[in-house]
A = this chain, B = another copy of it.
Amino acid sequence: MKIPPVKGTRDFYPADMRIRNFIIDGWKKVSLRNGFEEYDGPIFEYLQMYQLKSGDEIAEQLFNLVDRGGRELAIRPEITPTLARMVNQQINSLPRPIKWFSVPRLCRAERPQKGRLREFFQWNIDVIGVEDEIADAEVIFCALDYLQAVGLTSNDIVVKISSRAMLAEVLAVIGIEKEQLNAVYSVLDKRSKIPEDAFIEMLMTCITDSNKRADVIKLMSVKSFEEIASIIKSNEKIDAALGQLRKLFEILDTMGVSDFCQFDIGIVRGLAYYTGIVFEIFDKKAELRAIGGGGRYDDLLKTFGGPAIPATGFGIGDCVLGIILEEKGLLGQASKNSRTQYFAACVDQKYFAKAVELTSKLRRKGISVALNYKVGNLGKQLKQVSAQNAEKCLIIGSEIESGQVAVKNMTDGTQQLISIDDLLI
C-alpha cells in the first residue's frame, strides 16, 4: 500500500523545513520588532463565516467539511475573518490600537501552479482601531523591513499603492453606478494580469456606455495621483482620498522606504472588503503574481457583528516569496541558522557508555549534540559530520579515561584535547 500526498500540498523534509522555518521565523522576528503581538485561531471555522464575507473567489475555493454534530465547517482560506471574530468577541477588554500578527497555515482548493498551492503559509499583520495613515504606513514598513532583512532591495521589489476610496469616488464622477462597483473592481484588478484586449472586452461587459468606458481607460493610464484632477472634476471626497495618499507617502518617506513605494492606480485588490488605501508588493521582474498585498478594511468588524472600527493590514504568502528568495540566491542563510554544535563520535565500544553520558550532560546544558550510534572507524564517522552540518566533532576514545576528549573544528580542521569539565562549564 503506497499512498501519495494530496495534490497541491507539500511534504517538508528537513531541508525544506529549514527554509520554511527561515521564512516564518523571519516574519515573526520582524513583526515583534515592529511592535506586533502574535495571535492564531483554529484551522477550521463555521463555513458561513467565509461565505458571508470573503467574496466569491475565496468561497469557491473552500475545503468544506461536516463534523459528526452536523456542523458545516471549512478549513480556513484566510485568517482575517477569524481576526474579526476574535476582536469582536473581546472588543471591550482589548486595549487599542490592536497591533497583531499571525503566520497561519491556510488551504484553498485552487488549481496548483507556480507560486500557488492548495496549502500554504501566510504572514498577516493588522492594525485595528487607528484611522490615521500612520497605521497603513507602519504596515507597509513592516513588510519592507522583512523583505530588506532577507536581502531584497528596491532594485528587486516595489510596493504599488492606490486608494479604493479615491477610485470609488472617481468612478462615481465618471458615472459608474454604485451597484456596478464590485464588478468593475474585479475587472480593473485583472488588468495587469491579462492582455490589453481581453481587459477591454471584460470592461465592455460591465460598462456598456462607451464614453464612460473611455474615461475609465484614460483614468487607468495616469502615472501619479496628482494627474487625476486633470482628468475628472474633483470634489471634496476625492480631495480627501488624495490627501490620505499624499500623507501616506510622506510618512513612508520619513520611514526611509520611499524608494520602494510608488502610486499605481491599477492596484484594486480582489477581495470585496477593502475601503481605503490598498497596496500590492511585486517582484520587479513581475513574472509572478504579487508577493503580497493589503489595505484598509474599515467596515469588516461591523460586518461581523461588532462596532465600526477602522482597520488596515496585509498578507504575504510563503510560495511566491520562496521562489523569489531562491531565484535571488537568498536562501543560503536557512541552513546556516540551524547547525548542530557537536557530532559525538565514539571510536571504541568500551567507551560508548561514556559517550552517552557526556552527550546527555552537554544537551542538558543547552548544547546541541548529534550522538552517532555507530561506534568505530573515525574516518567513516568524520564523513558523517559534514553531512550532518555539525560545527565540531567530539572524538571519544581512550583519553576519556583521563577525563578528556578530542574536539575537531570542522571549519578549519584543527583539533585539540579538552577536559570534559571545561566542556561542561
Contacts and interface: CB of A to CB of B under 8 A. Distances in A.
A21 B103 CA distance: 12
A303 interface: yes
Contacts of A370: 35, 99
B1 A44 contact: no
A379 interface: no
A343 B48 CA distance: 40
A3 B48 contact: yes
A141 B360 contact: yes
Contacts of A338: 32
A171 to B, nearest CB: 28
Contacts of A262: none
A14 B39 contact: yes
A357 B11 CA distance: 42
Given A305-B1, A305-B2, A63 B52 contact: no
A217 interface: no
Interface in A217-246: none
Contacts of A134: 356, 373
Nearest to A64: B65
Contacts of A37: 14, 17
A35 B39 CA distance: 30
Interface stretch (A87-95, A177-185, A200-208, A291-299): A87-95
A73 interface: yes
A216 to B, nearest CB: 34
A49 B86 contact: no
Contact of A12 (B7, B40, B69, B371): B40
Interface residues of A, number: 95
Contacts of A257: 360
Given A44-B63, A65-B65, A373-B130, A17 B38 contact: yes
Given A1-B304, A38-B21, A130-B373, A32 B251 contact: no
Interface in A118-156: 119, 130, 132, 134-135, 137-138, 141, 145, 148-149
A329 interface: no
30 contacts: A1-B52, A2-B305, A3-B46, A3-B49, A3-B85, A4-B46, A6-B44, A9-B42, A11-B41, A11-B42, A13-B39, A14-B38, A14-B39, A14-B100, A29-B366, A30-B363, A33-B363, A34-B363, A35-B340, A43-B105, A64-B65, A95-B387, A105-B105, A138-B371, A149-B364, A251-B356, A254-B353, A254-B357, A256-B357, A256-B361
Nearest 3 A-B pairs (CB), nearest first? A9-B42, A35-B370, A2-B305
